[in-house]
Amino acid sequence: MVLRCLVWLFIIGCVSKVLCSCGAQSEPTAPQGAASCGCEKLKRAAAAVDGAEEQTASVLTDTAGKYSRVANERASQAQGDERELHSQMVQISGGEFLMGTDNPGIPADGEGPPRLVHVDSFYMDIQEVTNRQFQSFVHATAYVTEAEKFGDSFVFEGILSETVKSQITQAVAAAPWWLPVKGANWRHPEGLDSNITDRLDHPVLHVSWADAVAYCSWTNKKLPTEAEWEYACRGGLKDRLYPWGNKLNPKGQHYANLWQGDFPNHNTGEDGYVKSSPVMSFPANGFGLYDMVGNAWEWTSDWWTVHHTTEQQDNPKGPPSGTDKVKKGGSYMCHKSYCYRYRCAARSQNSPDSSASNLGFRCVSREQR
Ligand SMILES: [Ca+2]
Ligand SMILES: [Ca+2]
């Protein structure tokens, strides 16, 4: 019991980090205290629960207009492929880029120092893996996720029904808006009284790192390294906060599914969604990749560390071992006041067995799949 509780606390911490990973480079710096949304504390094995009972892609200019035009062109192409079971992939031509930032939104996350990194060419899913895709994987393999084995997963309180909330006596001390919900898993994102029937094209959630690896392996793919993910996120732009530039809402438009309003009490849903959104609901970046920031956090293959060499690196893969895995991009729960991690350089962590209602993934491969 105690172990489970500790695990939950840890997961909650991780989830918080996920939620928080929403930062940047040139926009005004994140407000003090913006470092903790609680998602990094959601590890199944650590935290402390309160009251626990137990491309050759061309480099684009940084103007929103050009970004938007290219994004919309790619979006219209992608819509036609939506019926295909496996994600469409785009080739990301290899090259050098500055990974990290010298103006970290959340210094404690190890966003800096910036370092010159080269990555080889690779292919990347243009979208987060969806419930429909994960469902086909489960149908074909009878795979059981870790959240299903544990019997619970972390869910943000704000999206739970009153019935489910009334049955929960635990909370994560450092992030009380994260609740361990019995029966919550990818099929039941907010617990047993919820389902994915009307969310088959949303990102699959409540998947652990091992679950993500299993799915990618099934499609002959793998998880991206953090370097691959960040290079892809930047979409050919240099020293920019977001995949589309430095302004969060160019010309008043939303470019990602994030949180508007006061976190964690009121989400206005100004961008159209208070929870996850169907994949590809917002413009793609210069490489044709959707939802790199926002919607669902995305697992990477790297172990977590906040210490980075400043020497030039070639296809870095992170530390050889660790306790947490790196996740990137932030989620629909990210707000600048609390989780400034919806920036390409931002990062957060979760233990590999963690799962939560805002954490998903996408896959990469060396060859076209
Ligand atoms: Ca939103
Ligand atoms: Ca995402």
Distance from C-alpha of 257 to C-alpha of 274, rounded to nearest angstrom? 8
Ligand number nearest to the C-alpha of 255: 1
Q: How much distance in Å is there from the Cα of 48 to the middle of ligand 2?
A: 28
Provide the pLDDT for residue 199: 98
Residue with tokens 């919309």: 72
Ligand number nearest to the C-alpha of 362: 2
Provide the pLDDT for residue 318: 97
Ligand number nearest to the C-alpha of 359: 2
Angle at 291 between CA 286 and CA 294, to 5 degrees: 125
Distance from C-alpha of 12 to C-alpha of 178, rounded to nearest angstrom? 6
Q: How much distance in Å is there from the Cα of 261 to the middle of ligand 1?
A: 10
Q: How much distance in Å is there from the Cα of 314 to the middle of ligand 2?
A: 25
Provide the pLDDT for residue 110: 97
- Bridge-based pairing of strands 115-119 and 171-172 is unpaired
Which amino acid, 294? G
Residue-level pLDDT, tens digit, the chain, 369 residues? 433 434 444 444 434 333 333 333 444 444 444 445 678 878 765 433 333 333 333 333 333 444 444 444 444 444 444 345 788 999 999 999 999 999 999 999 999 999 999 999 999 999 999 999 999 999 999 999 999 999 999 999 999 999 999 998 888 888 889 999 999 999 999 999 999 999 999 999 999 999 999 999 999 999 999 999 999 999 999 999 999 999 999 999 999 999 999 999 999 999 999 999 999 999 999 999 999 999 999 999 999 999 999 999 999 999 999 999 999 999 999 999 989 999 999 999 999 999 999 999 999 999 988
Taking a C-beta distance cutoff of 8 angstroms, is the pair 180, 357 a contact?
no
- Please choose, from the candidates 121, 111, 148, 136, the residue with its C-alpha nearest in 3D space to the C-alpha of residue 287: 121
Taking a C-beta distance cutoff of 8 angstroms, is the pair 72, 282 a contact?
no
Taking a C-beta distance cutoff of 8 angstroms, is the pair 318, 291 a contact?
no
Provide the pLDDT for residue 136: 96
Torsion of CA 297, 298, 301, 303, to 10 degrees: -10
Residue with tokens 């819509």: 79
Q: How much distance in Å is there from the Cα of 138 to the middle of ligand 2?
A: 22
Q: How much distance in Å is there from the Cα of 367 to the middle of ligand 2?
A: 22
Q: How much distance in Å is there from the Cα of 280 to the middle of ligand 2?
A: 10
Residue 266 DSSP code: E
Provide the pLDDT for residue 24: 35
Angle at 309 between CA 307 and CA 310, to 5 degrees: 125
Question: In sequence order, what DSSP letters do the residues of 304-339 get, joined into one string?
Answer: P-S----S-EES----S--S-EEEES--TT--TTT-
Which amino acid, 198? D
Q: How much distance in Å is there from the Cα of 169 to the middle of ligand 2?
A: 31
* Burial of residue 157 (number of CB atoms within 10 Å: 0-12, 13-18, 19+): middle
Taking a C-beta distance cutoff of 8 angstroms, is the pair 130, 205 a contact?
no
The dihedral through the CA atoms of 145, 45, 230, 200 has a sign that is positive
**What residues have a C-beta under 5 A from ligand 2, the ion?**
291, 295-296, 329
Distance from C-alpha of 242 to C-alpha of 228, rounded to nearest angstrom? 16
Q: How much distance in Å is there from the Cα of 277 to the middle of ligand 1?
A: 8
- Please choose, from the candidates 137, 75, 89, the residue with its C-alpha nearest in 3D space to the C-alpha of residue 364: 89
Strand partners, 262: 266
Which amino acid, 123? Y
- For the chain, give the number of residues: 369
Distance from C-alpha of 340 to C-alpha of 356, rounded to nearest angstrom? 18
For the chain, how are helix, strand and coil distributed in percent, rounded to 5?
25, 20, 60
Q: How much distance in Å is there from the Cα of 202 to the middle of ligand 2?
A: 11
Ligand number nearest to the C-alpha of 332: 1
Residue 95 host element (H or E): strand 95-99
Ligand number nearest to the C-alpha of 294: 2
Residue 251 DSSP code: G
Cβ-defined contacts of 54-57 (< 8 Å, 24+): 54/1, 54/2, 54/4, 54/5, 54/170, 55/90, 55/91, 55/92, 55/93, 55/121, 55/236, 55/287, 56/91, 56/93, 57/90, 57/92, 57/93, 57/235, 57/236, 57/286, 57/287, 57/288
